[in-house]
Amino acid sequence: MMSTLIDYLEELADSDRVITVPADEVDRLAERFGDRVRQMGQLNMNNGGSLEIPVSVIRDAATQLESQSLLAAVQELKSERFAELIDRSATSCLIEKISENYRGYFRDLMTRYQETTDPLETTRLRDQLLREVFGS
Amino acid sequence: MPRIDWRSLPLQIKQHLIQRLKDREITQGDLESLKMWIEANPDVPDGPWCKGFGSFKLAGEGKYPKTFLTKHQRCVGKNL
């Protein structure tokens, strides 16, 4: 029980953690919910179009949705059916929130890089920006 | 029409572009535009080409991106 709590807290504290959505899953989601799916994170064209999304971005987007909307989005994503009203579906709201938060995340990264005076942090943020812009 | 192979662009050139952001020689908005352009995976001509991003330009040839130039530097090839 204790290790679960620690694991969870470690996950929350790890701001650099990303999840990778494989290219075929990105394609499937884009077919159902449109091209904006590809704006939820860093689209890695070197890797066939996989999508890397910072966990913090997803977490922030999820907390901005009402819990009912989040549950509805999960149900829609689990079902293989096309959303009937794509623009109004809970998943579309979630995708929109994640994309918006990802844009904020990238802008914040650039600002932190410009403003830091710590050489180690400068190198770390530079390398992170390189991955965000050019892919890994 | 070829697609750009970003892995062929030397790391030092990429690092230099990011350093120019730190030095405020290029803007956040222009770097964001480059990122979006990369993610759109655009077609490029077989010969030399040039793409402007406001505060800087990218020059390439076929699928190979060659270098980043300042907005004042002359860029040969087809303008994208």
Mean local confidence (pLDDT), B49-68? 93
Measured in angstroms, the CA of B6 and the nearest CA of chain A are apart by 7
Q: Measure the CA–CA gap between B16 and B33, rounded to whole angstroms.
A: 17
Q: What is the pLDDT of residue A57?
A: 93
Among A37, A29, A38, which Cα is nearest to A82's? A29
Amino acid letter for position B25: E
Q: Report the residue from B3, B22, B31 with minimal CB separation from A133.
A: B31
Q: Please measure the distance between the N-terminal and C-terminal CA atoms of chain B and give it in whole angstroms.
A: 13
Decide: pTM greater than 0.95.
no
Asked if residue A27 lies in contact with residue A51, where contact means CB atoms within 8 angstroms, the answer is no
Q: What is the pLDDT of residue A89?
A: 81
Q: Which residues of B touch A129 (CB under 8 A)?
A: 18, 21, 31
Describe the strand order of the beta sheet including A42-44 as a list of residue ranges. Answer: A18-21, A50-54, A42-44
Comparing B15 with A66, the larger pLDDT belongs to B15
Q: Is A122 on the interface with B (CB under 8 A)?
A: yes
Q: Is B9 on the interface with A (CB under 8 A)?
A: yes
CA distances from A116 to B8, B23, B39 (A): 30, 12, 27
Asked whether the beta carbons of residue B21 and residue A114 sit closer than 8 angstroms, the reply is yes
Number of Cβ atoms within 10 Å of the Cβ of A43: 23
Q: At a CB cut-off of 8 Å and minimum separation 6, what does A103 contact?
A: A39
Report mean pLDDT in 10-residue bins for chain A, 136 residues: 74 81 92 90 86 92 87 83 61 92 96 96 95 87
Q: What is the pLDDT of residue A32?
A: 86
Q: Measure the CA–CA gap between B69 and A101, rounded to whole angstroms.
A: 31
Query: Does B29 score more than 80 pLDDT?
Result: yes
Ranges of H-type helices in B1-80: 11-22, 28-39
Q: Report the residue from B32, B34, B41 with minimal CB separation from A45.
A: B41
Q: Which residues of B touch A45 (CB under 8 A)?
A: 3, 6, 38-39, 41
Q: Which residues of B touch A130 (CB under 8 A)?
A: 11, 14-15, 18
ipTM of the complex as predicted: 0.89
Among B61, B67, B5, B42, which Cα is nearest to A47's? B5
Query: Does B61 score more than 80 pLDDT?
Result: yes
